[in-house]
Amino acid sequence: MTLSRVDNSGFARWWWTVDRVSLMAVLALMAIGLVLAFAASPAATGHANSAGNFSYALKQFAFAATALFILIGASLLDFKQARAAAAAVFALALIGALLALLIGVDVNGAHRWLELGGLKLEPSEFLNPRLRFWPPLFWPTS
C-alpha cells in the first residue's frame, strides 16, 4: 500500500505522523513476548502426570490486545488531547490509589490492589506515566 503525503484520510495522517520505528519495535517486542508466553504456558500449568494448557498465554494475549488498542488510540491524539487524557488518567489513578488504601485487597501485607471482578488492578502504576504530560507547577514546560 502506498500513501501519498497529500492524502487527507485519517489513516494517512496518522501514518505520516507516527514514529514508525518505535511502533515496529513495540510490536516486535509484543510478538516476542507472546511467542515466549505460548511456549512457557503449558510447562507452567502442567504437572508431572498431565499436560498443561495455554491459560497464561491467553491471558497475556488479552493484555497485549488491550495494550495495542491503547497504543493506537494514544497515538491518534494530538499534544493537547494527550495532556487532557493524562490529567484524567492521573485523577482516576489518584482516586483509585486512595480507594486501594481503604477497600484494597491485601497482597503480601500491602493494600495496593483493587479487585475488579477477576482482575486485580494496581492504580499506582497509572500514576507513573503522568510525569511527561502533566508536570507539577515548578517544572519548566517547553
- Give pLDDT tens digits for 61-75: 999 999 999 999 888
What is the SS3 assignment for 74?
Answer: helix
DSSP SS3 for 105? strand
Residue 134: what pLDDT?
A: 55
pLDDT at 50: 67
| Cα–Cα dist 48/24, whole Å | 39
Domain boundary residue among 76, 101, 123? 76
Residue 124 inside a domain? The answer is yes
* SS3 (DSSP) at 114: strand
pLDDT in tens, 108-132: 887 788 888 878 888 888 887 655 5
Same domain flag for 72 and 94: no
> Would the pLDDT of 5 be above 80?
no
Q: pLDDT-derived band of residue 35, with 50, 70 and 90 as boundaries?
A: very high
**Residue 63 domain boundaries:** 8-76
Three cell numbers at 6?
Answer: 497529500
